Amino acid sequence: MARFRAKGTAAAMDEREPVVLARLDDLDEATVVARAQDGNLDAFEYLVEAYQGRLFRLAFRMLHDRGDAEDVVQDTLVACWRKLPLLIDVQAFSGWLYRMATNRCLDSLRRRSSHAEVVQEPATLQITAEASTEPGVVGDPAREAEISCEMDGLATALLALPPEQRACWLLREIHERSYAEIAATLKVSEQTVRGRLARARAQLTGKMSQWQ
């Protein structure tokens, strides 16, 4: 309401009400998306800020390479800007963005496997696993070390999953997307998504029991 009063004062001085847009934080996402669709760059920048981290984490866990993950984020958000006016349902925005990013990750992995000799260096795995577990765990050093070891293990085990299973698992378990959305993203049935998830979990638990 403070905003309203401030405007009233300004209007009294100038007669015309100034052109001031609401803070984007005060709007719902669908409204911000609609404004970006109409070409508003501030609204688009707000969405880039809101999604770049999430999309990067998805792409990084899919591709295990910072540069490739950054390429996916950039390609996805540039395509988002270009195709935004065509998006009919603003509520579907995040699912649409995740779909574009996931498919770019899978394309990137297909390109990699066609030039076969890209092999994951153990050294790179080590560095990223360390980087990904340092913050967020406080307290008991022994428990910290144990958790850090589990995280390394889970992150490594993930990379051994077939790409489509990995995508299912990350979208569901880390990004909390719905089965229906994951199925649409991967162009498979929900039953297939459930099957892939179950096999991903079976494989991951199998790997985890090997570490003990």
Partner 1 sequence: MAIDETIPRLGCGRSIDEAWAGIKQPPTAHENGCVQCRTARASLAKLAEATRTLRYNDAEDASLRPHHGVKDAIMNLARAEVRRGNLLPAYQADQGAITISEQAITSVIWSGADALPGVRARRCRIHPAPDTTDGPRSAGTANISVNLRIAVASSTDIPGTAELLRQRIISMITAHVGLNAGAVNITVEDLYDV
Q: Is residue 161 a contact point for partner 1 (CB under 8 A)?
A: no
Pick one of 57, 92, 94, 159: the residue that binds partner 1 (CB under 8 A): 57
Closer residue to partner 1, CB minimum distance, 178 or 189: 189
Among 108, 133, 156, 185, binds partner 1 (CB under 8 A): 133
Examine residue 94 and tell whether it contacts partner 1 (CB under 8 A).
no
Q: With contacts defined by CB under 8 A, name the span among 13-21, 94-102, 108-116, 118-126 that binds partner 1.
A: 13-21
DSSP states of the chain: -HHHHHHHHHHHHHSSPP--PPPGGGS-HHHHHHHHHTT-HHHHHHHHHHHHHHHHHHHHHHH--HHHHHHHHHHHHHHHHHHGGG---GGGHHHHHHHHHHHHHHHHHHHHHHSTT----HHHHHHHHHHHHSTT--S-HHHHHHHHHHHHHHHHHHHTS-HHHHHHHIIIIIT---HHHHHHHHTS-HHHHHHHHHHHHHHHHHHHHHH-
Of 118 and 198, the one with the shorter C-beta distance to partner 1 is: 198
Asked if 75 contacts 104 with a C-beta cutoff of 8 angstroms, the reply is: yes
25 counts as binding partner 1 under rule CB under 8 A: no
Given the complex with partner 1, which of 53 and 126 has the nearer CB atom? 53
x/- site string to partner 1, residues 172 to 191, per CB under 8 A?
Answer: -xx-------------xx-x
- Give residues with Cβ within 8 angstroms of 199, minimum separation 6: 165
Question: Does the protein bind partner 1 through residue 119 (CB under 8 A)?
Answer: no
Which residues 59-78 are close enough to bind partner 1 by CB under 8 A?
60-61, 69-70, 73-74, 77-78
Instruction: Determine if 101 is a binding residue for partner 1 (CB under 8 A).
Output: no
CB of 10 to partner 1, least distance (A): 11
According to CB under 8 A, which one of 118, 145, 180, 198 is a site residue for partner 1? 198
Binding flag, residue 41, partner 1 (CB under 8 A): yes
- Check residue 145 for interaction with partner 1 (CB under 8 A): no
Cβ(207)–Cβ(160) below 8 Å: yes
CB of 176 to partner 1, least distance (A): 8
Question: How many residues in total does the chain contain?
Answer: 212
Size, binding site for partner 1 by CB under 8 A: 73
